[in-house]
């Protein structure tokens, strides 16, 4: 890979996640404060991520893999995305905002797979060459949050500017995409079934009792995860945290730290303990939020944010490695697609539709909520999932990471 291509791919990754981080983290606060949306409406807007994640494999499987070069589809989708994000800045009520953001997430979520496809096509050894490029994506998300915090857009009520910033970055990436190396369709002329698209070839893994327990726990743990994505920023702003979006970027910083430390933990803990620690971190995070404040317990709010690294890496990345090892070469890709569809698609979708009414139910005035009770609910859900997992999951495998193992992150990440 030449230096020029490496720079282009790194810039592509940076912009891909800068765009998402620029508006996604603070959308809940924008909807609540500017568009006067309810908690249920807020959660519905965040649920578009899950709907996009469910639809994305069909865009990739039926279009990108068969008919058009990946970099061209990436360019078109981001140009459309730029128009959609800019249009969002002109909308003054939620009923018009929702269909626009749904359209945007349907065209954005497929780009997460497309940037990986474009990158892998240029690599001789993806396990070594991909991480240094993918890390620019996490950097993009972090810098987006720090920028919002530094400019004080939350405090000044100027979060509409986050959509303009994201629109500008999307326009830039859309144009850049047409200069990226050619990535022709990989399944041109081949038939693609519904089962291929959603990874049904890997469903046989569920015959393994331990994997079935892990799979169900993965879907269930995404229910409390939706509370974090949907309502952390409105919560932090409501309780008075300065530059909340910037502080939230510490979650991605801790994710990078724990990702680097994971091989050490793997050797010592094994799969079951790694997964359990990840779920325990979920419980503790919500307890910290429940009892944290901007006074004497400010450290709890920060701790709850920083624990994102443990929550994400110990559960999701460990789960990807566990799935990778169990599936084998033949079903590896199908298995990863299936678990991602189930978690970020189905699990997060359920969580979004549950979290909204709960937040509305514990509203105490036009602008305040009983956040202690609200956060203890996902803490309780995560605790139940953890206990059931510990009782039912029997796989004792002590699994060190394989040489050259390729760990792919689902959406920010998600995040």
In the structure, what pLDDT confidence band is assigned to residue 414 with cuts at 50, 70 and 90? very low
**Res. 407: pLDDT tops 50:** no
3-state secondary structure of 179: coil
For the stretch 17-46, pLDDT in tens is 999 999 999 999 999 999 999 999 999 999
Query: What is the percent of the chain where pLDDT is above 70?
Result: 86
**Res. 231: pLDDT tops 90:** yes
**Res. 402: pLDDT tops 70:** no
CA–CA distance, 99 with 104 (Å, rounded to integer): 9
Cα radius of gyration rounded to whole Å, the chain: 20
Supply the mean pLDDT for the chain.
Answer: 86
Q: What is the pLDDT of residue 405?
A: 39
pTM of the model: 0.82
Q: What is the pLDDT of residue 77?
A: 94
Alpha-carbon dihedral angle through residues 118, 75, 246, 347, given to the nearest 10 degrees: -70
CA–CA distance, 397 with 401 (Å, rounded to integer): 12
**Residue written as tokens 């002329």?**
189
For the stretch 338-375, pLDDT in tens is 777 888 888 999 999 999 999 999 999 888 999 999 99
Alpha carbon distances (Å) from 87 to 34, 78, 312: 16, 14, 33
**What is the average per-residue pLDDT within 226-232?**
93
Q: At how many degrees (to 10) do helices 209-238 and 39-59 cross?
A: 140
């Amino acid at each position: 890979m030449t230096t020029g291509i490496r720079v282009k791919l790194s810039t592509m990754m940076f912009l891909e996640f800068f765009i998402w981080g620029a508006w996604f983290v603070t959308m809940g606060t924008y909807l609540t404060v500017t568009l006067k949306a309810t908690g249920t409406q807020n959660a519905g807007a965040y649920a578009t991520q899950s709907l996009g994640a469910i639809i994305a494999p069909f865009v990739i499987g039926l279009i990108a893999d068969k008919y058009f070069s990946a970099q061209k589809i990436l360019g078109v989708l981001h140009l459309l995305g730029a128009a959609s994000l800019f249009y969002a800045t002109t909308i003054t009520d939620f009923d018009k905002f929702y269909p626009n953001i749904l359209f945007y997430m349907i065209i954005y979520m497929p780009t997460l797979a497309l940037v990986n496809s474009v990158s892998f096509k240029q690599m001789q050894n993806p396990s070594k060459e991909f991480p240094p490029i993918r890390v620019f994506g996490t950097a993009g998300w972090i810098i987006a949050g720090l920028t919002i915090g530094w400019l004080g857009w939350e405090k000044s009520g100027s979060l509409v500017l986050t959509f303009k910033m994201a629109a500008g970055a999307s326009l830039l990436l859309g144009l850049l995409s047409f200069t990226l190396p050619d990535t022709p369709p990989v399944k041109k002329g081949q038939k693609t079934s519904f089962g291929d698209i959603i990874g049904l070839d890997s469903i046989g893994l569920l015959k393994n009792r331990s994997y079935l327990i892990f799979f169900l726990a993965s879907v269930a743990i995404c229910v409390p995860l939706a509370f974090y994505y949907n309502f952390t920023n409105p919560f932090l702003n409501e309780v008075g945290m300065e530059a909340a979006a910037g502080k939230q970027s510490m979650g991605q910083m801790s994710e990078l730290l724990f990702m680097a430390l994971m091989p050490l933990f793997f050797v010592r803990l094994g799969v079951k303990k790694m997964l359990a620690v990840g779920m325990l971190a979920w419980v503790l995070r919500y307890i910290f939020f429940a009892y944290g404040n901007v006074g004497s317990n400010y450290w709890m709010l920060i701790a709850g944010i920083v624990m994102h690294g443990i929550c994400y890496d110990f559960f999701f990345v460990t789960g990807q490695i566990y799935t990778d090892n169990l599936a084998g070469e033949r079903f590896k890709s199908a298995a990863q697609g299936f678990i991602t569809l189930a978690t970020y698609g189905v699990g997060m979708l359920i969580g979004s539709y549950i979290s909204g009414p709960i937040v509305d139910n514990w509203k105490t005035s036009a602008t305040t909520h009983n956040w202690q009770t609200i956060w203890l609910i996902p803490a309780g859900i995560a605790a139940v999932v953890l206990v059931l997992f510990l009782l039912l999951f029997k796989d004792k495998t002590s699994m060190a990471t394989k040489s050259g193992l390729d760990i792919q992150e689902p959406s920010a990440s998600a995040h």
